[in-house]
Amino acid sequence: MNALPVSDAESARRREDVLRELNLYPLWQLRNVPVTTNVPEVPAVAVAAAELRAEQTVVSEVPHADIGSLNWPELKKRVQDCTACKLRAGCTQTVFGTGDENADWLFVGSWPSEDDDAKGEPFAGPAGQLLDNMLAAIKLQRGVNVYLANVVKCSGSIKHSPQADEIAQCSPYLARQIQLIQPKMIVALGHAAATALLGEDREWSSLLGKVHDYRESSKVGLQQSIPLVVTHHPAALLLTPLNKAQTWRDLCLARDTMPCPVSDAG
Ligand code: SF4
């Protein structure tokens, strides 16, 4: 027997249930985020200036030989001074990462947004607000037993998102952050972050709903394996809210995989 068609009212009710689970209802309706993937229009002179800065940037030698011995202040300084790729020319400042340096939870995005670049912190702006709601949905809070970082520390120029060689160039900084934090759970937000953390480009659909192993894939010499769960980046969720249902399942999987229960952050 064929399934009965889902009415519009029933479909809307189910969507509201998902949004409530993510602590987004009715805020989601009020925010009215425009659904567009267009790059904001930028004056030609700004583009030309960014391109000129990129051409003038002196790309340094790869500064990663001793990275495994750096402590937090040394690592932050190394990133701050880094000019190892041309992305540095297009950003206002490097975006190192933020949060509890002994956190059990590490959330990793791809590269800094314009909001991140302006603030100097990952997950600023609307995507960051959504991430905060995602954290709250599993009883976590930014800065409390949570560390936030991106794979790439510079936002790049207006017309140039990070390329594979630039991601590879910057990844050792994140690897050292993970060595220092020793989190109990890594949540990779988006395909680029998952690819960098797993060391290989897998089909997106095969990444979701599973627990992966950061150590096994990346071979970074940690004493213990770290479980890794992949889900959608909050910026992508702003464009495709229906994927929040999958994100909720992934976050629950991560929460349930943790060796110790999550306590209320508040
Ligand atoms: Fe250095 Fe990474 Fe910035 Fe490139 S993106 S300049 S490797 S910090």
C-beta 149 within 6 A of ligand 1? no
3-state secondary structure of 131: helix
DSSP state of 208: B
CA pair distance 238, 242, nearest whole angstrom: 9
Higher local confidence (pLDDT), 29 or 240: 240
CA pair distance 229, 250, nearest whole angstrom: 7
Higher local confidence (pLDDT), 64 or 198: 198
CA pair distance 60, 133, nearest whole angstrom: 39
Chain centroid, CA 3 distance in Å: 39
Global confidence as pTM: 0.77
Atom of ligand 1 nearest to the CA of 169: 7
pLDDT digit string, tens, across residues 121-153: 999 999 999 999 999 999 999 999 999 999 999
24 pLDDT tier (thresholds 50, 70, 90)? very low
C-beta 169 within 6 A of ligand 1? yes
Segment 236-249 shows an average pLDDT of 96
CA pair distance 170, 63, nearest whole angstrom: 10
pLDDT digit string, tens, across residues 53-78: 444 444 455 568 899 999 999 999 99
pLDDT higher than 60, residue 253: yes
Segment 215-226 shows an average pLDDT of 67
Query: Counting beta carbons within 10 angstroms of the beta carbon of residue 133, is it exposed (0 to 12), middle (13 to 18) or buried (19 or more)?
Result: middle
Return the pLDDT at 7.
Answer: 58
pLDDT digit string, tens, across residues 158-174: 556 788 888 889 999 99
Contact 200, 213 (CB under 8 A): no
Outline where 32-124 has alpha helix (H). 44-56, 72-81, 114-119
223 pLDDT tier (thresholds 50, 70, 90)? low
Pocket test for ligand 1, best of 59, 79, 87, 177 (most atoms within 8 A of CB): 87
Ligand 1 centroid – CA 82 distance (Å): 6
